[in-house]
Structure 1
Amino acid sequence: MKISIRKFEGKDIPKKVEWINNSENNKYLHYDIPLKIEKTEKWFEKNKDRTDRFDAVIEADGVPCGTIGLLSIDQKNKKAEYYIAMGEISLKGKGVSTNASKLLLEYAFNVLKLNRVYLFTEKENLIAQKLFEKVGFIREGLIREDIISRGKYVDRYIYGICKKDFLSEEY
């Protein structure tokens, strides 16, 4: 299976809405559910030309199957926040997210010339943590009661990876 990532386009909006609204996908996501096409179209128009974020679609053999990207791209400090949402349930656990994450990190370090990529994940999100560690992210700490999700305070871990570590390892 050939995995690739490409810039998110307007044509991807219906799939994104479908993926995010699927209860098998959104347990740890922070969206106003249900996501609506109209609201997502407005989000896309507002964000498509921004340089402080990179929103992409994961493709498996040319078929869209999830979203991945970088938020808060900070060229001054050479860092950005990573995110991923695998949409197609049938492709979970098949290495798609791992390969897409490696591609995104290569883009972050080699094209954007960033030095650090970080992420936040709920303490209970063990499957995501396995992915992050597999591609080289290091758990750096616990942020207690960091956000409110579904009406409750949630503890989150912060993970990070630096360019020198990513480029010196084979993940």
Structure 2
Amino acid sequence: MPRILGIDPGSTITGFAVIESGAQPHAIVIDCIRLPRTDFPSRLGLIFEGLREVIERYQPDEMAIEDVFVSRNAASALKLGQARGAAICAGAARGLPVSEYTPTQIKQAIVGRGHADKTQIQHMVKVLLGVKDALQADAADAAGVAICHIHHARTASRMRVAANTTGRRA
């Protein structure tokens, strides 16, 4: 059963989750890297190092990350993009295949509609993974990214099987 590292990147809090896929996906870890109020380049380094440690400890097979959404605040969007870059580099440096999903794709996979709010994501992640404890929003979002990846991978697999079927009966 492949392990998926889901990432919700942020310049102050980066959520991460390692989810083991299977008939019923289950969480190995769902948590956050909380970054100190320090200079921005140092925070990027902490994201990279923190995720390298997560990868080393939990040995995921693949990585999925939330794509940058277009923001009205260009400076915030740039910082988010740089945080994503630090996270992607941590996975790429360990040879993990990296998949990217938009917020709408993630919400659609978790809640069934592309405009769900954070509380709906938190609730559905808990239901889908059988988690009893409260989840921090960024950690739940990271788990949602991993679940989205699992759903997309399963769909792609089914489509490959269907494409290889001739439709003739023996």
- TM over 0.5, yes or no? no
TM-score by length of 2: 0.34
TM-score for both structures, normalised by structure 1: 0.34
Task: Point out the structure with the larger strand share.
Answer: 1
Greater fraction of residues in helix: 2
